[in-house]
């Protein structure tokens, strides 16, 4: 199996870069369709969340899978960017490193807030979109199913998830408490009605936030969310008035352009009379123009700004880190052994089949030339041929089996080439 | 009750210093037990402080004077109120490092009071009058409240700056909303208390004049009187603007107002001290002679305003 991953995450890329590479669900589908046209022999999955965009490609043979450079170029072209604009901000992993990376991501060890639950569902969703494109993805199926198994194992065997803290939780529980003494009397405005908004609202309600207003371009989704949290619904066209009244804004829309521009906010700011406003812009691309944070009474926080707080969180869970990391390493090794065993099994079967075909044809030819053989003699010759083949195959098969633990698979490849075995 | 005599300024000042050290250590490492030690040491210091004040007040009563009506007693009483407020805040807001800002003000007051420990109290006849009691206690509380407002204002500015710069910092402070509310309350309370002190001072002056010189008038040219009036007007204006103009009580403005008020108050106290306000002629000359402060702190002996406020 050949697996490549390229991508960017909060570890090495700023929001501005991640914004350029962020995909909506429909955009992921379009991207994968285009990819399958360009590289029909390989499989692909695109994972796009607020903190990362990761592009996985897999294939049985190396020649069917694009190189990491080709993947970067493909990604850049698709987004209308120059390769140089993004290449320095992207990471690239191959095979074992790529697998280990995916396992870490799914187990939330690579998240901004280590141990957050949201990432696993995002990984599942990315895989599901790849399946929905209608392409056969047996290799990535195997990898992603194992990734989900690893995530569950880490959750069950470590305490890394015991106090589940996601980005919304850190935003609400740490930041909000530094600005507001209580939320009961605060107007809370939610822009967007997705999962992030829902999770954030859960924490706000836990802090006694009551005066909740939800607004979304698609009113029906806002209605569902508002109903769930006893909030009100505001018309999207009434956004400016809602901004005037709000004390805390949580923005999680999937808009590709800022929802609130600086010009727009100027008028809002005049009417707010310098009332303190906390804006949690949890959207990628950002929903609020960064200049809005320059107003004296406005505290504008983006996902990147929350990273420091998340680092604190990461430290507190440091004790569980080695245990979780060990599970990832074990599972990565197991995965490769498994793949290797499966590959060697099929190679051995092919080798035996090929040897038996040679043996049978030679046996047939010999028996045809020898007349008047008794059945006992024929049986003796057959057994002799059988033993010969087995004895010839025994050392290489033993070596292949011994090679399974090394995960390298070099011997298997050599065997395939030596005996000209197909896939 | 010999043990009462053994309690000295060092006892409670040392306790507060230890608490300040504990507060500072919170910047560097976490320790759950520290909270209890901090509260325990503060409570012990406050107890010693209370006993010290009570004992010396009793002694001054025995000698026909009011010890609290001296710079020494006045400063230590102010520090006592601040210590009590600190203990209350430590219990209410255990996570916040309020002590890091409040304790230095408190320790400064104790140090300032210690500098006057050998000076004579105000003359017994004046100190025991009702107007003088109202005058002194109102001004004492006003000073404490303005100092508290200053502490809240400074904390607000730091917290606001940290949040603006997206830095969580190594220590925790109360929320901006809490600091804003309390800064506002101290502004209002200090205005009321200063008005009480100012009005009672005028009343006191009028009572004195009616007995000695019925034709006399209030000496508005006295620097203590006019600076007190200016401070009061500043606080009154700030309170009125704050009450009727919403933007004034939002954001950093209220923090700036209480900080400026404190600086104003410091200036006022320096003037009061320099002119030897509310002390008798002979007391004043002895005061500068025995003050424990370095020479540059000594007030001029030429000043002889003898005002009331």
Smallest CA–CA distance, residue B124 to chain A, in Å, is: 48
For B57-88, b/e burial (b = at least 16 CB within 10 A) is eeebeeeebbbbbbbbbbbbbbbbbbbebbbe
Check pLDDT > 50 for residue A141: yes
- List every span in chain A annotated with CATH 3.30.460.30: 2-164
Q: DSSP label at B119?
A: S
Question: pLDDT by residue (tens digit) across B184-199?
Answer: 999 899 889 988 888 8
B250–A274: do the CB atoms touch at under 8 Å? yes
B168–A177: do the CB atoms touch at under 8 Å? no
pLDDT for position B281? 46
């404490």: which residue's tokens? Answer: B144
What's the CA gap between A207 and B142, in Å, rounded? 36
Check pLDDT > 60 for residue B284: no
Check pLDDT > 60 for residue B293: no
A308–B166: do the CB atoms touch at under 8 Å? yes
> Which residues in chain A touch residue B180, judged by CB atoms under 8 angstroms apart?
276
What's the CA gap between B254 and B176, in Å, rounded? 12
Q: Alpha carbon of B42 to those of A372, B12, B112, B148: distances in Å?
A: 114, 9, 20, 18
What's the CA gap between A187 and B220, in Å, rounded? 51
Determine the residue of chain A that is closest to B178 in CA distance.
A181
Arithmetic mean of pLDDT, B46-75: 77
Q: Are residues B115 and B164 in the same domain?
A: no
Contacting residues for A403 by C-beta, under 8 A, at least 6 apart = A340, A344, A409, A410, A411, A412
> Which residues in chain A touch residue B175, judged by CB atoms under 8 angstroms apart?
177-181
3-class secondary structure per residue, chain A: CEEEEEEEECCCCCHHHHHHCCCCHHHHHHHHHHHHHHCCCCEEEEEECCCEEEEEEEECCHHHCCCHHHHHHHHHHHCCCCHHHHHCCCEEEEHHHHHHHHHHHHCCCCCCCCCCCHHHHHHHHHHHHHHHCCCCCHHHHHHHHHHHHHHHHHHHHCCCCCCCCCHHHHHHHHHHHHHCCCCCCCEEEEECCCHHHHHHHHHHHHCCCCEEEEECCCHHHHHHHHHHCCCEECCHHHHHHHHHHCCEEEECCCCCCCCECHHHHHHHHHHHCCCCEEEEECCCCCCECHHHHHCCCEEEEECCCCHHHHHHHHHHCHHHHHHHHHHHHHHHHHHHHHHHHHHHHHHHHHHHHHHHHHHHHHHHHHHHHCCCCCHHHHHHHHHHHHHHHHHHHHHHHHHHHHHHHHCCCHHHHHHHHHCCCCC
Rounded to 5°, the CA angle B22-B28-B34 comes to: 35
Q: Are residues B70 and B216 in the same domain?
A: no
A181–B178: do the CB atoms touch at under 8 Å? yes
pLDDT for position A377? 87
Smallest CA–CA distance, residue B74 to chain A, in Å, is: 34
Residue B2 inside a domain? The answer is: yes
B175–A181: do the CB atoms touch at under 8 Å? yes
pLDDT for position B278? 54
> Which residues in chain A touch residue B246, judged by CB atoms under 8 angstroms apart?
273-275
Q: What SS3 class is residue B303?
A: coil
Q: Are residues B197 and B254 in the same domain?
A: yes
pLDDT for position A75? 93
Check pLDDT > 50 for residue B302: no
Arithmetic mean of pLDDT, A160-165: 60
Arithmetic mean of pLDDT, A303-310: 77
What's the CA gap between A215 and A238, in Å, rounded? 9
Q: Are residues B106 and B226 in the same domain?
A: no
> Which residues in chain A touch residue B176, judged by CB atoms under 8 angstroms apart?
178-180, 276
> Which residues in chain B touch residue A273, judged by CB atoms under 8 angstroms apart?
246-247, 250
Residue B294 inside a domain? The answer is: yes
- The residue among B119, B147, B170 that closes a domain is B119
Residue B72 inside a domain? The answer is: yes
Lowest mean pLDDT among A96-110, A226-240, A361-375, B295-309: B295-309
Residue B107 inside a domain? The answer is: yes
pLDDT for position A422? 65
Most confident range, picked from A6-10, A61-65, B226-230? A6-10
Residue A244 touches chain B, beta carbons under 8 Å: no
Residue A276 touches chain B, beta carbons under 8 Å: yes
Q: Which domain holds residue B273?
A: 129-309
- The residue among B72, B92, B119 that closes a domain is B119
Q: Are residues B93 and B4 in the same domain?
A: yes
Q: Are residues B108 and B160 in the same domain?
A: no
Arithmetic mean of pLDDT, B79-108: 92
pLDDT for position A234? 94
Within a 13 Å sphere around the CA of A276, how many CA atoms are in the beta-carbon half?
Answer: 23
pLDDT for position B48? 93
Check pLDDT > 50 for residue B305: no
């007391």: which residue's tokens? Answer: B283
Is the ipTM value over 0.95, yes or no? Answer: no
- List every span in chain A annotated with CATH 3.40.50.720: 167-311
In which band, very low, low, confident or very high, does the pLDDT at B39 lie, cut at 50, 70 and 90? very high
What's the CA gap between A44 and B281, in Å, rounded? 95
Residue B124 inside a domain? The answer is: no
B163–A179: do the CB atoms touch at under 8 Å? yes
A178, A296, A305 member nearest B159 (Cβ): A178
Determine the residue of chain B that is closest to A182 in CA distance.
B177
Q: What SS3 class is residue B80?
A: helix
Determine the residue of chain B that is closest to A277 in CA distance.
B251
What's the CA gap between A304 and A286, in Å, rounded? 11
pLDDT for position B227? 79
Architecture of domain A167-311: 3-Layer(aba) Sandwich (3.40)
């509380």: which residue's tokens? Answer: B141
Task: Name which of A365, A288, A286, A328 is nearest A114 in CA terms.
Answer: A328
Mean pLDDT of chain B: 78
Angle at which helix A118-132 crosses helix A195-206, to 10 degrees, equals 160
B168, B174, B252 member nearest A309 (Cβ): B168
Lowest mean pLDDT among A240-244, A374-378, B180-184: A374-378
A177, A180, A297 member nearest B251 (Cβ): A297
> Which residues in chain B touch residue A296, judged by CB atoms under 8 angstroms apart?
251-252
pLDDT for position B271? 79
Q: Are residues B73 and B156 in the same domain?
A: no
pLDDT for position A397? 81
Q: Are residues B49 and B108 in the same domain?
A: yes
A187 or B63: which carries more pLDDT confidence?
A187
Check pLDDT > 70 for residue A88: yes
Chain B residues with at least one Cβ partner in A under 8 Å: 159, 163-164, 166-168, 173-178, 180-181, 246-247, 250-252
Contacting residues for B68 by C-beta, under 8 A, at least 6 apart = B53, B57, B60, B74, B77, B136
Mean pLDDT of chain A: 87
In which band, very low, low, confident or very high, does the pLDDT at B306 lie, cut at 50, 70 and 90? very low
Q: Are residues B172 and B288 in the same domain?
A: yes
- The residue among B119, B138, B153 that closes a domain is B119
pLDDT for position B255? 87
Q: Are residues B203 and B299 in the same domain?
A: yes
Arithmetic mean of pLDDT, A73-102: 91
Q: DSSP label at B68?
A: G
For residue A277, what are the β-bridge partners? A298
In which band, very low, low, confident or very high, does the pLDDT at A423 lie, cut at 50, 70 and 90? low
Residue A318 touches chain B, beta carbons under 8 Å: no
Residue A305 touches chain B, beta carbons under 8 Å: yes
Neighbours of B23 (CB within 10 A): 22
Q: Are residues B176 and B251 in the same domain?
A: yes
B167, B173, B252 member nearest A296 (Cβ): B252
pLDDT for position B128? 56
Lowest mean pLDDT among A10-24, A93-107, A330-344: A330-344
Determine the residue of chain B that is closest to A309 in CA distance.
B168
What's the CA gap between B39 and B86, in Å, rounded? 10
A179–B176: do the CB atoms touch at under 8 Å? yes
What's the CA gap between A406 and A403, in Å, rounded? 5
pLDDT for position A414? 79
Contacting residues for B279 by C-beta, under 8 A, at least 6 apart = B120, B122, B123, B287
Determine the residue among B92, B174, B177, B241 to mutate to test chain A binding: the one whose Cβ has the most chain A Cβ atoms within 10 Å. B177
pTM of the model: 0.63
Task: Find out whether the peptide bond into A57 is cis, omega within 30 degrees of 0.
Answer: no
Neighbours of A419 (CB within 10 A): 13
Catalytic residues of A: 50
Q: Are residues B96 and B199 in the same domain?
A: no
- Give how many domains chain B has, as a whole number: 2
Q: Alpha carbon of A58 to those of A49, A359, B140, B173: distances in Å?
A: 21, 37, 78, 51
Terminal-to-terminal C-alpha distance of chain B: 37
Contact A241, A270 (CB under 8 A): no
Chain centroid, CA A111 distance in Å = 11
Q: What SS3 class is residue B216?
A: coil
Smallest CA–CA distance, residue B151 to chain A, in Å, is: 17
B177–A178: do the CB atoms touch at under 8 Å? no
pLDDT for position A173? 81
B181, B250, B252 member nearest A275 (Cβ): B250
- Share of residues in chain B with pLDDT > 90 (%): 27
What's the CA gap between A235 and A220, in Å, rounded? 11
> Which residues in chain B touch residue A174, judged by CB atoms under 8 angstroms apart?
168
B247–A274: do the CB atoms touch at under 8 Å? yes
A vs B, Cβ pairs < 8 A, gives: 49
Smallest CA–CA distance, residue B163 to chain A, in Å, is: 7
What's the CA gap between A68 and B228, in Å, rounded? 76
Pick A2-164's CATH classification: 3.30.460.30, 3.40.50.2300, 3.40.640.10, 3.40.50.150.
3.30.460.30
């Amino acid at each position: 199996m050949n697996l490549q991953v390229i991508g960017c995450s909060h570890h090495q890329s700023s929001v501005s870069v991640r914004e350029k590479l962020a995909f909506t669900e429909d955009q992921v589908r379009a991207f994968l369709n285009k990819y399958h046209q360009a590289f029909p022999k390989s499989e692909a999955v695109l994972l796009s969340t607020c903190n990362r965009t990761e592009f996985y490609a897999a294939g049985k043979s190396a020649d069917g899978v694009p190189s990491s450079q080709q993947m970067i170029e493909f990604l850049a072209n698709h987004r209308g960017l120059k390769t140089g604009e993004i290449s320095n901000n992207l990471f690239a992993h191959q095979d074992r490193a790529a697998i280990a990376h995916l396992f870490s991501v799914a187990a939330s060890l690579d998240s901004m807030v280590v141990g957050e639950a949201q990432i696993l569902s995002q990984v599942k969703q990315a895989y599901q979109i790849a399946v929905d494109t209608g392409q056969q993805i047996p290799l990535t199926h195997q990898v992603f199913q194992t990734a989900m198994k690893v995530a569950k194992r880490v959750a069950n065997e470590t305490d890394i998830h015991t106090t589940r803290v996601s980005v919304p939780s850190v935003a609400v529980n740490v930041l909000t408490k530094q600005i507001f003494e209580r939320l009961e009397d605060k107007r809370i405005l939610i822009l967007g009605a997705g999962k992030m908004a829902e999770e954030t609202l859960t924490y706000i309600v836990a802090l006694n936030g009551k005066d909740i207003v939800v607004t979304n371009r698609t009113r029906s989704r806002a209605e569902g969310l508002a109903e769930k949290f006893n909030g009100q619904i505001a018309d999207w066209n009434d956004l400016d008035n809602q901004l005037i009244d709000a004390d805390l804004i949580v923005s999680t829309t999937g808009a590709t352009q800022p929802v609130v521009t600086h010009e727009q906010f100027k008028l809002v700011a005049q009417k707010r009379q310098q009332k303190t406003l906390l804006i949690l812009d949890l959207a990628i691309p950002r929903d609020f123009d960064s200049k809005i944070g320059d107003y004296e009474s406005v505290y504008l926080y983006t996902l990147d700004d929350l990273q420091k707080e998340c680092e604190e969180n990461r430290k507190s869970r440091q004790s569980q880190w080695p245990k979780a990391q060990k599970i990832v390493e074990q599972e990565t090794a197991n995965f490769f052994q498994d793949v290797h065993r499966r590959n060697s099994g099929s190679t051995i079967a092919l080798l035996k089949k090929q040897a038996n075909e040679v043996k049978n044809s030679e046996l047939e030819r010999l028996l045809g030339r020898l007349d008047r053989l008794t059945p006992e003699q024929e049986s003796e010759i057959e057994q002799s041929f059988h033993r010969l083949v087995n004895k010839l195959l025994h050392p290489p098969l033993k070596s292949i089996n011994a090679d399974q633990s090394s995960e390298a698979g070099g011997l298997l490849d050599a065997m395939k080439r030596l005996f000209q075995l197909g896939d | 009750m010999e043990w009462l005599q053994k309690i000295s300024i060092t006892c409670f000042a040392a306790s507060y210093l230890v608490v300040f050290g504990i507060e500072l250590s919170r910047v560097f490492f976490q320790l759950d037990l520290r909270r209890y030690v901090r509260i325990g040491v503060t409570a012990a210091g406050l107890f010693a402080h209370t006993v010290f004040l009570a004992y010396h007040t009793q002694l001054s009563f025995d000698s026909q004077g009011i010890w609290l009506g001296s710079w020494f007693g006045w400063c230590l009483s102010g520090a006592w109120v601040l210590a009590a407020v600190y203990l209350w805040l430590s219990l209410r807001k255990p996570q916040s490092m309020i002590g890091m800002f409040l304790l230095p003000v408190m320790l400064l007051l104790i140090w300032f009071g210690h500098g006057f420990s050998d000076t004579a109290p105000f003359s017994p006849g004046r100190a025991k009058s009702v107007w003088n009691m109202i005058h002194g206690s109102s001004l004492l509380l006003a000073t404490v409240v303005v100092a508290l407002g200053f502490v809240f204002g400074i904390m607000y500015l730091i917290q606001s700056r940290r949040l603006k710069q997206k830095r969580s910092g190594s220590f925790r402070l109360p929320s901006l909303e809490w600091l804003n509310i309390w800064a506002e309350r101290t502004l209002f309370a200090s205005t009321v208390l200063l008005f009480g002190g100012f009005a009672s001072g005028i009343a006191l002056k009028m009572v004195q004049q009616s007995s000695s010189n019925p034709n006399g008038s209030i000496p508005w040219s006295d620097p203590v009187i006019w600076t007190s009036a200016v401070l009061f007007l500043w606080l009154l204006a700030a309170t009125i603007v704050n009450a009727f103009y919403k933007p004034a009580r939002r954001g950093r403005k209220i923090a700036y107002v209480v900080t400026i008020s404190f600086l104003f108050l410091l200036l006022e106290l320096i003037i009061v001290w320099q002119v030897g306000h509310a002390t008798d002629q002979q007391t004043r000359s002895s005061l500068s002679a025995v003050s424990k402060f370095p020479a540059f702190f000594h007030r001029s002996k030429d000043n002889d305003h003898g005002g009331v406020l």
